[in-house]
Amino acid sequence: MKLNVSIPAAFTNGKDEPVPNKVRGQDVAIAAYNTVHTHEAGVKALAARMAISPNTLAHKVNPQNGTHHLTLREAVEMQYQSGNFAILHAMADELGHTCTLATPAQHEGNPVDTLMHLQMEFADFVRSLADAVRGGEGAVTGNQMRRAEHHAQETVAAVGHALALLRARMRAVPAA
């Protein structure tokens, strides 16, 4: 019999031992900065959607600013309004977790489309892995790692959708 035990990184080393190297994604503060400054409609539009001054928002996400701070509620609202969930993924990565889209109800729609979507997501995942390791001896870049992680999560979400499809098509339990 095999046993697997997961120990969070914070508890794996003694106080004098270094934490092992880990490939990390984007820093949370940088993710917040990029969410604001790469928003397609601009900083002013995102700030207006959040009901905050554009100047204040820019100061709150500036990693060099020590006086203005982004609250958790503002970070959630910013991601909701922008559609960019990089902060969520950066936080999860920093803590050794991943994020997966919630599985919507699958009681409507074409079952074949759901299965085709699953296969297409898996193909994108395999392509991202192949692209990262193709070309020989070079190290995998952070962008390649993030792309593979993204497609892995999309594949997991597509599996969840396929399972929800099956659940929606289950026969009702006969009454006793």
Render pLDDT for 94-124 as a digit per residue (tens, 0 to 9): 888 877 776 666 556 688 888 898 999 999 9
Structure tokens at 43: 């900083």
Which residues fall within 8 angstroms of residue 160, CB to CB, at 6 or more apart?
Answer: 100, 101, 103
Output the pLDDT for position 6.
53
What b/e sequence results for 46-70 when a residue is b if at least 16 CB atoms lie within 10 Å of its CB, and e otherwise?
Answer: bbeebeeebeebbebbbeeeeeeeb
Spatial distance between the Cα atoms of 25 and 89, rounded to a whole number of angstroms: 8
Rama region for 36: left / alpha / beta (φ>0; ψ in -120 to 50; rest)? alpha
Output the pLDDT for position 21.
45
Output the pLDDT for position 17.
56
Output the pLDDT for position 72.
95
Output the pLDDT for position 169.
81
Does the global pTM surpass 0.75?
no
Give pLDDT < 70 ranges for the chain. 1-25, 102-109, 135-137
CB 53 within 8 A of CB 47: yes
Spatial distance between the Cα atoms of 123 and 117, rounded to a whole number of angstroms: 10
**What are the phi and psi torsion angles at 142 (to 5°)?**
-60, -40
